[in-house]
Chain A
Amino acid sequence: MSQLIPPAIIPYVMPLVYAVVIVAVLPLMAGYIVLLERKVMADMQARLGPMRVGPHGLLQPIADAVKLLLKEDIIPNDADRFMFYVAPLVSVTMALLAYAAMPFGPAFQIADLNVGLLFILAVSSLGIYGIVLGGWASNSHYSLLGALRSAAQLVSYETAAGLGLVSALLLAGSLSMKDIVQAQADQGVWFILVAPIGFFVYLVGSIAETNRAPFDLPEAESELVAGYMTEYSGFRWSLYFLAEYANMIIVAGIATTLFLGGWLRPFPRLHQHLIGTSLELLDALPSLIFIAIALYCFRLAPRQPVRIQKLVMAAAGGLCLLLAGAMAGSLFASPAVMQGVHGGFWFMVKVMAYLYAFLWIRFTFPRYRFDQLMRLGWRFLIPLALVNVMGVGTAIVLQQLWGWDPRGAELVTLAATIGVALLLAHEDEKPASQPLAEGE
């Protein structure tokens, strides 16, 4: 390799490969998250969801993508054309750029910045310009209102979400994504167990930041039609869509890295070896999961109505088997490869679990009103996050300076924080019950 490529470029090769992989795979992943969303929604709403394109709708995302690309690209007459063109690009570029510092596995990371977390937060917060400018450029009032709501919402909730993250940062003592995961491995505990309030604040904040229900006011269908996307169609619209799902994966990735142990396997310190070998039992889990999915696919395959669907279903099963094989095979390869493959697997599993929580919340709750959303952000989440930061800080001080037992210190401060949370929630209810007429 070193002969083929000039040495000056070598450090840029792997990141480039990773970047290409991410840019290529991400739209597909977004498509399949949409399918997942529709399937989960259908399951919760007592129906089937997409069933026609491919077996159980497995090819639906591809059909959707083709449809979107072929749609007419409509630009309103009075739109600011340049901005209208650029806005979706800004959104999607910023969303993709944030992946630069996202650690999908111990090896799979484009760049390990020492301010990695801040970088991701900064860049993903720039996506708001895509929304704001797009809403403005559309020259439609629904769009503009959606954009304004979006901007106000993002600025408010970024504060809360950021403060939620601080608790994990205090525990990790680093801004580098890799070091944060490493800190969790070293301390032998996921930070969600130490700072659950911080995780909760970030969960709520991240839902609001990605404009998902119950905070989807910028695109509230029943009020603003489609918010800032109202005037967009076809390809440009799908760029916004891609950006939204990319952002969802980013916030899920941040939460996974900071609170859920990143690419670490569950129980990273539990070493139950298979008798007589150095293989760990828990490492077999990914393979077993894939084998189970594969068997399920094979069982479903003969029941598909059309021949081609049978084939596709069987192919899906085969793909799962292949992945299971890869998972199992990597166990026998070098530790680095094994870590990489399994780390990626666990990272994605956690991201998906986080996204599932998003979907679950979306299909369960009604939508907030804008003033309620703001009240929740400023009066509840931000104070709570501040108290939580102080609580975690206190716990660390108690441990390090006064030599308290770590778990004891954490429990004490956690109890105090939860007390404050209840107090805040109680306070929050008072103005909510007042009639709206105070303005008159």
Chain B
Amino acid sequence: MANDPSEKVPPSQPPEGKAEGAPVSPKAAAPAAAAPPKAGAPPPPKVVTAAPIPLDNELVQRLEAHFGEAIREATLDRKQAIVLIAAEKLREIARYCRDEEKFDMLVDLTAVDWPKREKRFDLILILYSFAKNERLRLKAHAGENERVPSSVEIWPAANWLERECYDMFGIVFEGHPNLRRILLPDEWEGHPLRKNYDILKQDTAWVRENLGIESGQ
């Protein structure tokens, strides 16, 4: 991991930015006495930054030049580039990333739920560029009843990934050709990966009706 070329980042970054990353939950502000994580490994080559630091490389500059306000923030966490963007502009930015920046593969698309935040979901797109051997993480905030633009037309790979996201979080993707549940049954109530969905919870009515048992637990 020490020589992970993918995450090579232009050296423009400040060595120890303390600027706190907005995407991280308030809890993160209290880094506490978390055990110095670098401890132990025989060759401790690098200082691991405990918190994200601002990022300002050429890619980010180009993005900002193109999309201005839509690029909210760019950070570096564990040497991995994260760009926070406005959800409305997702499709345009995604297309630009694919066509101009050669991020030709959508590696993954997922979400994180932060229920206490005003816009509770982080929508996360992990991109990879074969040409640069580099990854980029696009992040967008989305509210509970907000519709997020779908990126299926840019990367067909997003089809099932967005369906899964809808299935698990209830995020609705505008323009998705076939937005149905993918892992859970179509009539299932609730979105399990939301934080307020208890781990023991299940759609008891569905289970009773379709499986003929009282509980799936």
A and B touch in the complex (CB under 8 A): no
> Interface on B for A, CB 8 Å cutoff?
none
